[in-house]
Amino acid sequence: MAEIFKLPDLGEGLQDAEIVAWHVGVGDHVVTDQPLVSVETDKAVVEVPSPHSGRIAALHGASGDVIAVGAPLVEFAAGAAADKGAIVGKVAAAEDEGAPPEKARAAPAVRRLAAQLGVELAAVKATGPGGTVTKADVERAAGEVAAAEPIRGVRRAMFLNMTRAGSEVVPATVTDEADIESWPDKTDVTIRLIRAIAAACKVSPALNAWLDAETMTRRVHERIDLGIAVETEDGLFAPAMRDIGNRDADNLRRGVEAMKKDISARSIPHEQLVGQTITLSNFGMFGGRFADLVVVPPQVAILGAGRAEMHIVAVDGAAVAHRLLPLSLSFDHRVVTGVEAARFLNAVIEDLEQPE
């Protein structure tokens, strides 16, 4: 009797995973712990090992498919008793039990064209006489399908996170500028921003917190695990720099460089992609001055730094040109007050305006 191996729980509350690549094929004999498939979960690629030895009878899913945790993944030809709770290969049967769908009206030549182009006639908008599907209708539908790009991988994780943030968070933003004219040449902006956030969290700890909206509870963290937003061609990553308040500049710099290398190689550990308590976005590296940033639950705050520019300021009654760094602090107004946010931003500015 065949045995069904389901996608196991991959930890951190993940509900599904996207298949990246299969390492085995139907008919292959595998041994215990041999990698079966690589899957992507919340921006990290992991391998799923075989639970035991046996011969592969069927694979469920192809590259790019999203599989739910607990759903059939691999069918073994022999071994332990099959999982009676698994539903394999008969998903469409339930749909067949209802009333049959109305058959689309189309000429035989149009039907052949639809089959060649992989177009489902029932889903095509008919513009011909009496609701008939025409050749032009099929070609238009094929073009629409070809133009549609599935949201996968990193962008899928971003899509889900931003959707959740948009539906849950009550956002507010305060902005200001830090005068960084006293900075030495080649100052590492990211390291200075990390240090400033650590200082601000001590002054206004309410922003280094998590909110559980369902239970209406919040958890203010003593340790600062800073998420650093990094843009790539694939989408947005925000890996965590752990315990930034107790690390010196050299240690932080090495951590940032290692993080960038891991992201570039797509080898960043999953545990580094979760658990952020507050986030930094240095979006000014690409452009823009101020922004309404997105707070991703359960976090309650994100600080953004825009593009630094020269501006005229008053110093001892004289107009002089100084380099100013624009700052945007977005926060969840359900649990962070305007005063707490302003106090935090002021502390960031105070630390940034120190020469070293």
**Contacts (Cβ under 8 Å, ≥6 apart) of 83:** 3, 4, 6
* DSSP label at residue 79: S
Please, are residues 58 and 3 in contact by the beta-carbon 8 Å criterion?
no
pTM beyond 0.85: no
- How, if at all, do strands 217-220 and 209-212 pair? antiparallel
Whether 302 contacts 278, CB under 8 Å: yes
Superfamily per CATH, domain 101-147: E3-binding domain (4.10.320.10)
Which residue matches tokens 């005068």? 179
Quote the tokens at residue 173.
Answer: 């933003």
The sign one gets for the Cα dihedral 132, 136, 142, 148 is negative
Fill in the amino acid letter for 7. L
How confident is the model at residue 104, as a pLDDT? 75
Beta-strand (E) ranges in 110-212? 132-133, 171-179, 209-212
> C-alpha 131: how far from its chain's center?
43
For CATH 3.30.559.10, the residue range(s) in the chain are 153-352
Q: Report CA-CA distances (Å) from 26 to 22, 52, 57, 77, 284.
A: 11, 16, 5, 10, 50
What's at 103, amino acid-wise? Answer: K
Q: Beta strands 318-332 and 309-315: pairing type?
A: antiparallel
| Both structure tokens of 218 | 């919040």
Tokens of 25: 């094929």
Whole-number Å distance between alpha carbons of 106 and 123:
13
Q: Residue 80: its pLDDT value, please? A: 43
pLDDT given at position 97: 40
Give the residue among 286, 259, 285, 257 at the shortest CA–CA distance from 273: 259
Helix (H, G, I), strand (E, B) or coil at 34: coil
**What is the per-residue pLDDT for 41?**
74
> What is the pLDDT at residue 37?
92
The DSSP H or E segment spanning 197 is: helix 189-203
Please tell me the predicted confidence (pLDDT) of residue 83: 37
Residue 145's H or E segment, with its range, is: helix 135-147
Q: How distant, in Å, are the alpha carbons of 180, 184, 186, 246, 291 from that of 354? A: 8, 11, 15, 19, 24
Residues 6 or more apart whose Cβ sits within 8 Å of residue 243:
223, 224, 225
Q: What is the mean pLDDT of each run of 10 residues along the chain (356 residues)?
A: 85 78 90 88 78 92 88 82 33 39 71 84 83 88 77 82 91 98 95 98 98 95 95 83 96 94 84 94 93 96 97 94 98 97 98 95
For position 334, what pLDDT does the model report?
96
Please list the residue range(s) of the chain that carry CATH number 2.40.50.100: 3-76
How confident is the model over 271-280, as pLDDT tens digits? Answer: 888 999 999 9
Minimal CA–CA distance to 308: which of 330, 281, 280, 283? 283
CATH topology for 3-76? OB fold (Dihydrolipoamide Acetyltransferase, E2P) (2.40.50)
Residue 234 to residue 155: CA distance in whole angstroms: 7
How far is the C-alpha of 78 from the C-alpha of 302, rounded, in Å? 52
At residue 96, the 3 state secondary structure works out as helix
Q: Which fold has domain 153-352?
A: Chloramphenicol Acetyltransferase (3.30.559)
Distances (CA, A) of 218 to 208, 225, 274, 297: 10, 16, 18, 11
Q: Which of 251, 245, 308 is nearest to 277 (CA)?
A: 245
Q: What is the pLDDT of residues 235-273, one digit of tens each?
A: 788 999 999 999 999 999 999 999 989 888 888 888 888
How many whole angstroms from its chain centre is CA 352?
Answer: 30
